[in-house]
């Protein structure tokens, strides 16, 4: 089973790119973030025609929004709000793969604004509170004896490792790579002993990015990226993950998202 995560940055604008992705990667589940689309305007018919009849969406008018598309029927689906806001940032679904239920948590974590100081930047405070609430929710799940094998993925808007950014030294005071964000993300990762599967397939000392700014005239040559998009799995699913990849070429498609799709294969 192939699971893809992609911050699409407007699903209606980039509907053709999702169809291109389907042809290129032949996924079974696609998790989209920043859909920027209310639920009643989501382009379900085109995706159903492409082989994805099952859609779980948590969209709002304007920014944000997440959606999960699947070839497989959902055993369970629900959306969860954080920080008292209904801003479409978490969709939980569950699919059955060869008789085994797998929970998929599709997240779009707040970007956090420009200043890494909650006293002067409300957006950064929101990001920290959102991550704290995520951590609390998964700590609660860690106490459940019958918790399913799980995948946590999406645009987490944090690049934690030294080689998850083009220059760790220059970006330590830039939102997405600050020490407090890295520490907060580590606490979240510890809740269910999540494995960041990317670094099993791409060594930590190698550069690995999933996002390149629109501001760069030649993003590919400059290659000043960040790894903001993640796929984690619980230990009971770890051995089944047999592949990981970033579809870097998608960043160069016509009218692209500034994020590239990331994916895993589960045996």
The pLDDT tens digits along the chain (267 residues) read 999 999 999 999 999 999 999 999 999 999 999 999 999 999 999 999 999 999 999 998 878 999 999 999 999 999 999 999 989 999 999 999 888 899 999 999 999 999 999 999 999 999 999 999 999 999 998 888 888 899 999 999 999 999 999 999 999 999 999 999 999 999 999 999 999 999 999 999 999 999 999 998 899 999 999 999 999 999 999 999 999 999 999 999 999 999 999 999 999
Q: Which domain holds residue 69?
A: 2-266
- CB neighbours of residue 75 within 10 Å: 13
Tally of domains within the chain = 1
pLDDT score recorded for residue 143:
83
How many Å apart are CA 96 and CA 218, to the nearest integer? 42
- CB neighbours of residue 117 within 10 Å: 13
CATH number for the domain harbouring residue 214: 3.60.10.10
- Residue 251's nearest CA partner among 6, 4, 2, 12 is 6
φ, ψ for residue 12, nearest 5 deg: -70, -40
pLDDT score recorded for residue 61:
80
- The pTM of this model reads 0.97
Within the chain, residue ranges assigned H as helices are: 15-25, 44-49, 122-142, 168-171, 179-190, 198-201, 219-222, 235-238
User: Are 171 and 179 contacting, i.e. CB atoms less than 8 angstroms apart?
Assistant: no
pLDDT score recorded for residue 136:
96
pLDDT score recorded for residue 89:
96
pLDDT score recorded for residue 145:
81
How many Å apart are CA 207 and CA 185, to the nearest integer? 19
Q: Return the DSSP state at 165.
A: B
How many Å apart are CA 102 and CA 196, to the nearest integer? 17
pLDDT score recorded for residue 29:
98
pLDDT score recorded for residue 50:
97
User: Are 103 and 150 contacting, i.e. CB atoms less than 8 angstroms apart?
Assistant: yes
pLDDT score recorded for residue 141:
86
pLDDT score recorded for residue 129:
97
């Amino acid at each position: 089973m192939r699971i893809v995560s992609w911050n699409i940055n407007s699903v209606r604008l980039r509907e053709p790119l999702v169809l291109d992705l389907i042809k290129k990667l032949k996924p079974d589940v696609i998790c989209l973030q920043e859909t920027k689309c209310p639920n009643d305007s989501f382009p379900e018919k085109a995706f159903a025609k492409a082989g994805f009849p099952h859609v779980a969406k948590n969209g709002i008018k304007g920014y944000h929004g997440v959606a999960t598309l699947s070839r497989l029927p959902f055993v369970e689906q629900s959306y969860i709000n954080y920080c008292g806001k209904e801003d479409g940032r978490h969709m939980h679904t569950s699919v059955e793969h060869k008789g085994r239920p797998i929970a998929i948590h599709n997240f779009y974590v707040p970007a956090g604004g420009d200043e890494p100081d909650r006293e002067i930047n409300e957006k950064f405070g929101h990001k920290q509170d959102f991550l704290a609430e995520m951590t609390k929710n998964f700590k609660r799940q860690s106490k459940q004896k019958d918790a399913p094998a799980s995948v946590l993925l999406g645009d987490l808007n944090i690049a934690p490792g030294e080689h998850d950014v083009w220059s760790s030294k220059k970006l330590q005071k830039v939102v997405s790579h600050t020490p407090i964000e890295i520490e907060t993300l580590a606490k979240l990762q510890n809740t269910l002993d999540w494995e960041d599967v990317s670094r099993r397939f791409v060594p930590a000392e190698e550069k690995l990015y999933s996002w390149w700014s629109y501001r760069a005239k030649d993003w590919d040559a400059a290659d000043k990226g960040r790894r903001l998009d993640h796929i984690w799995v619980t230990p009971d699913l770890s051995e089944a993950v047999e592949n990981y990849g970033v579809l870097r070429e998608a960043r160069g498609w016509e009218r692209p998202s500034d994020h590239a799709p990331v994916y895993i294969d589960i045996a």
